[in-house]
Structure 1
Amino acid sequence: MSTIRLFAGRPTPLLGARADSRRGVIAVLGSLFMCALFAFLALSVDTGRMVLTQTEMQNAVDAAALAASQEISLGLGGEGSSFAAAEAAARTVAAEVAEANGVYVNADQDVFFGLRTYNANSDTWSTQWGVTPFNVVRVVARRDNKDDLEAEDGELPLSFGWAVGQESVGLAAEATAFIESRDLVLVLDFSGSMSDDVELRSMNKMGQSAIEDSLDLIWQQLRDSGATWPDHPGQEKFTDGFGRVDSEYGTYYNSSKTSKIMNYLNLNDRNSDGSPKYPFPQAGRYSDGTPRDRLSANSSEDHWEGYVNYVKNLSGAYNRRYGYRTLCDYLLQNNQMKWTNSEDMWRTSHYPFHAVKEGATLFLDYLQEMDFGDEVGLVSYGSYAVWEDSHYDGEVDIDISDDPITDNLAAINTIQRRHQAGHYDVYTGMGDGVLKGREMLVGEANDPDDLGHARNGARPTMIVMTDGQANRKKSGWSLPGSFKWSDWTDYNGDGSADYSSGDSYKQYAFWEATEAVKKGITIHTMAVGAGADTDLMEAIAFAGGGAFVHVPGGTSVHEMEEELLDAFGTMAAKLPAAQLVSGE
């Protein structure tokens, strides 16, 4: 009989060997795990430092690029400015701003300049680096110096780099900022008051000698123009005399009877063929701009009678003085200034309109010189507003209607210079001017298919100018009951409106401005002369996020012209704030 004995608590030699083996494996695995854990911890610490440093560098170059771009726009805003000086200043500012944010930028090597332009075919913007005039700045910050980690551009030391076999890591960040191109619409006042400063009735304001000098200049400009009749190209309109209307001060004739005055002045004399011996020098235009032929004898006499009736009823020094000054003054009156009545007055320096024309020319020349990609459109207003996208007058034929906001600044300049005060009529419909400016930029509000003519990526901007008071509005319009002035004219942030008006014409002009602002349009305003509505224009500029310029005018038309030149220069230099751009 066999016996089986069990001995508890004494392992067999085989089981003991297996337990010792397991302990060794766990120890090895634990060591490997701890090494991996340490490596991950080291990597997370250094990765966090890398991300933090990269973020700091990116923030620094963003700020530096914006500051450098803004320096270019500021540097080009003053008289005698140059791109070289603006570039040098921009480099310095970029380095200083980066340094203030704890990041090193080499002003000479890490700041790049280029030209951002619009491609109409693809409706896109692209940048050409190194091409002038500069309107784009790229700033690069580098930490790529492996040899000297203590240097300003030294690579970022890794705290646990020894654990992964890498002592440092290189980092870089860059940012590009640009000066936004503008689509600008000039909204200009073509009302009748734009010739007031050279008319006889302004003697008390401007002085008799100043008015006389202005009228003499106008006469000389008409004489020098050599303007002739379309049907009689060999006959000049403005001759050395019209009968006894043959001097600046004029022939005095003390009579109130028009027919008697006409006979004395020989203004109803006729040639043997029945044509007028002294045809009235302005016949007007057809609605398409074509100048009319020389007046018939009867029509000429009718026009001369209008002149005689005007002069015989003047007060002051020129009462019943029939001469060049009173003739020019007559042509400047509201019923004569329309281009359908007086076809040649655009050639003359009547103020303040001529000063506005000179200022607009300077403005366009400035934009052309800067060449930042700005494009310009033109809207005029009297009682109603007109897109000035074409012009025909028998001498020039311009049509930019396919692209009314254009880079053809020479065409815009020619169009605006060949207009005159009171061109269409005498009133001041500023609200319609702002409306037409908005529609040119972004389209009609009620037409979803009309997107306007502003380019994608350009800043839509209006410059609105007036010398008077709004006195026209849309028929049947009234200010909406929901409109709150405090939403638009709270200058000091106290919740109350600092401008409001009960005048419906002013309300309409301001309301149209707010409608434009809602569409993202910036509005600058310019008030010219003592009679301009400065309060309204300032309020519109505030609501539109733009600049307001008041040109009060001096004691002479030349002072006003200088002030207007400065004002238009200021407007041209009001570049939008620099913006960051990606992908270029």
Structure 2
Amino acid sequence: MLRLKSTIRALSAQARERKGSVLVLAAFCMVMLFGFTAFVVDVGYIAYSKAQLQNVTDAAVLSAALELDMMSDQGDVETAATAAAMEVASTNPGGEITVQGESEGEPFQTVQPIDIEFGRQEFNHDTGRYELSFGGGSGDSPYNVIKVTGKRTFRPGIAPGGGDIDARLPLFFAPVIGHDFAEIEVTSIATFQPRDVILVVDLSGSMNDDSELKSINKLGHDAIVDNMEQIWGEMTDPGAMAAEIGEHLPFAPDYVTFEGQPASGAIPHIKVTLKSKRKIFVESTKDLSNVVVEYTNGNKYKYDNLNVGQSHTFNCSSNLKRCWVKSGSNASGEGSGYGERFDFTTSAIQEALGLSDVDYPFGSGSWSSYFSYVQGNSALNQGGYDYRYKYGGLSMVNWWLGSKPAHNQTEDLWKASAQPVTALKDAVSLFVNYLESVKAEDNVGLSLYNNANQDALLEHGLSQNFSAILETTTHRQAGHYNSYTNIGAGMRVGREEMIANARPKAMRMMILITDGIANRSSTGASPAQSALDEAYYAKAAKIKIMTVSIGAGADTDLMQEIADITGGEHFNVPGGQTVAQYADQLQAHFNTIAADRPLKLIDEEYNN
């Protein structure tokens, strides 16, 4: 019995000891639970607040980046971008961190500022990586990237009058363990996405059309002739290949006149003007007696016993080879009644025009082929104006542009202000010069259609060698390699270059330009279908195509469809306009394309 009581007393003592231990353990667990709860609540609050602040800096940096203008004064850009970022930061949830205090006895209220840095993003071709630099120094200008840092921190001495700003995040439970506040800092970087741009340019022969007589009904006679006279001056400038022609042949065209021997006593001075293959105008210082004509078929006809005075127009029944004019006492000795002889051969025409000692200067063509062109080609009879049989700069320019446009035919035509090719070249130059001046980190390539095989040619791969592209564009002429229009081939060459050499993370853009209708294909498909097929291939390669159609002859439906397939945009410069209007609209459209630069949020590890 005594042993049992002793055992019970021992167990009771142990129970009392265990009860005290449980209380200690429970207290310890409560502290741990409270600490864990404080950790979870406060950490969640910090994460939530940080996400809110990140949204604010993202919005602020995008708003600021919209003010980037690499053509404007960069000081003004900094001011505008800073104001835009601050406005967004102060009006977005998470950014309206208003701090109140007192400075020199006066109350103040301010919004927690954000830090804004301006810099540049550049692609290092050696490393294949983008490099970011900030600081606002001359090396970072013009700016193409902005960094905004949002901070909820303690900032001593930055309030008005040198007061402190405390924008730290107040915590709920952490103060119990000695942590009253948390500091948060987030960064957002925005830039215009660099672009890899392929220019796909139509250099078919029709790019001269608006400087030829065929466009009189569309643009008016005077506008065409004025432009052709400008071209004539450019082609015959001192030092130009055709300079010597300009010294002998005037721009204003006229019929060729053959001068006879000088008047002497009973011998008259006679002039014969060839007005068509079957028409001549004869005049003499004495009365005309008779005229004998010989046709190209060898037959002859004599206009005898004339009573027409000193001049007369003869309309003949067949094409003329030569004539003899009897007036006064002249005679050729070739037959009874045969007066002075006038031949209508190429050499005679060349001599009459003062070109006997002038060599035809270009690689293709000759005086004979030019004379044949003038003698009846319908291209010289347009819009009620007939320039057939009239020799001069006007008819020669029309011949060069319409019949001899290629570089291996008329080498100097790249110097001429033919339209619309010159307006196109000027617009391309404006576009490339803009990209170069703003240092926007864009790469540009150049694909021309057609080449000598009626396909296309990559003149320049993607690079920032803008001067080389400008040099090439300047020295190309309509029909440079071939006169046909193989749009699909030009697109294919541009697409292949893009796939092979586009930079990572660069926006891919193709600018397709034409004034006509696709009339050649390098595939089994029709010319138009070949171009549409290429549009789908471009879409698969993530290439956005901007199309530009020029003039009334362009297939605007095809250009619109190509742009739509790739999510691009179609720009149309309609026909029936002056050269100045063409140029203005093309430049306006290229300005719009140049400004098509998507903003992009990036981070410091943009390459990863």
TM-score by length of 2: 0.76
- Aligned residue identity for 2:188: A
* Alignment partner, residue 175 of structure 1: 188
Q: Is the 2:112–2:167 Cα contact (8 Å) retained in structure 1?
A: no
User: Are 1:52 and 2:48 counterparts?
Assistant: yes
* Alignment partner, residue 249 of structure 1: 253
In the aligned structure 2, how far is the partner of 1:458 from the partner of 1:241?
56
Pick from 514, 521, 525: which aligns with 2:547? Answer: 525
In the aligned structure 1, how far is the partner of 2:601 from the partner of 2:238?
49
User: Are 1:144 and 2:153 counterparts?
Assistant: yes
User: Are 1:331 and 2:400 counterparts?
Assistant: yes
Q: Is the 2:170–2:181 Cα contact (8 Å) retained in structure 1?
A: yes
In the aligned structure 1, how far is the partner of 2:459 from the partner of 2:155?
63
1:121-136 aligned at under 5 Å gives the runs 121-129=126-134, 130=136, 131-136=140-145
Which blocks of at least 5 consecutive residues in structure 1 are unaligned? 230-235, 285-298, 390-403, 443-451, 478-503
In the aligned structure 1, how far is the partner of 2:509 from the partner of 2:128?
19
Pick from 320, 326, 329: which aligns with 2:389? Answer: 320
Pick from 453, 472, 478: which aligns with 1:421? Answer: 478
1:258-297 aligned at under 5 Å gives the runs 263=345, 266-269=348-351, 277-284=357-364
Q: How many residues align?
A: 497
* Alignment partner, residue 515 of structure 2: 467
* Alignment partner, residue 65 of structure 1: 61
Q: Is the 1:311–1:326 Cα contact (8 Å) retained in structure 2?
A: no
> Which deviates the most, 59-68 or 80-89?
80-89
* Alignment partner, residue 175 of structure 2: 162
When residues 302 and 554 of structure 1 are mapped into structure 2, their CA distance, relative to the original with a 3 A threshold, is closer
Q: Is the 2:252–2:393 Cα contact (8 Å) retained in structure 1?
A: yes
Cα offset, 1:436, TM superposition: 0.7
* Alignment partner, residue 203 of structure 2: 190
SS at the partner of 2:557?
helix
* Alignment partner, residue 410 of structure 1: 467
User: Are 1:350 and 2:346 counterparts?
Assistant: no
Q: Is the 2:229–2:251 Cα contact (8 Å) retained in structure 1?
A: no
1:182-221 aligned at under 5 Å gives the runs 182-221=195-234
Pick from 357, 367, 384: which aligns with 2:455? Answer: 384
In the aligned structure 1, how far is the partner of 2:594 from the partner of 2:344?
51
* Alignment partner, residue 370 of structure 2: 304
In the aligned structure 2, how far is the partner of 1:133 from the partner of 1:147?
33
User: Are 1:454 and 2:502 counterparts?
Assistant: yes
Pick from 82, 87, 94: which aligns with 1:96? Answer: 87
Cα offset, 1:571, TM superposition: 1.5
Using the aligned pairs only, state the percent identity.
Answer: 33
Question: Which has more strand, going by share of residues?
Answer: 2
User: Are 1:363 and 2:431 counterparts?
Assistant: yes
In the aligned structure 2, how far is the partner of 1:407 from the partner of 1:575?
17
Which blocks of at least 5 consecutive residues in structure 2 are unaligned? 97-110, 158-163, 257-273, 278-318, 323-342
* Alignment partner, residue 446 of structure 1: none
In the aligned structure 1, how far is the partner of 2:72 from the partner of 2:394?
43
Query: Over aligned residues, Cα RMSD in angstroms?
Result: 2.9
SS at the partner of 2:395?
helix
TM-score by length of 1: 0.79
Q: Is the 1:195–1:421 Cα contact (8 Å) retained in structure 2?
A: yes
Q: Is the 1:112–1:138 Cα contact (8 Å) retained in structure 2?
A: yes
Cα offset, 1:138, TM superposition: 1.1
* Alignment partner, residue 112 of structure 1: 117
Q: Is the 1:269–1:278 Cα contact (8 Å) retained in structure 2?
A: no
Cα offset, 1:9, TM superposition: 5.7
Cα offset, 1:533, TM superposition: 1.7
In the aligned structure 1, how far is the partner of 2:388 from the partner of 2:229?
17
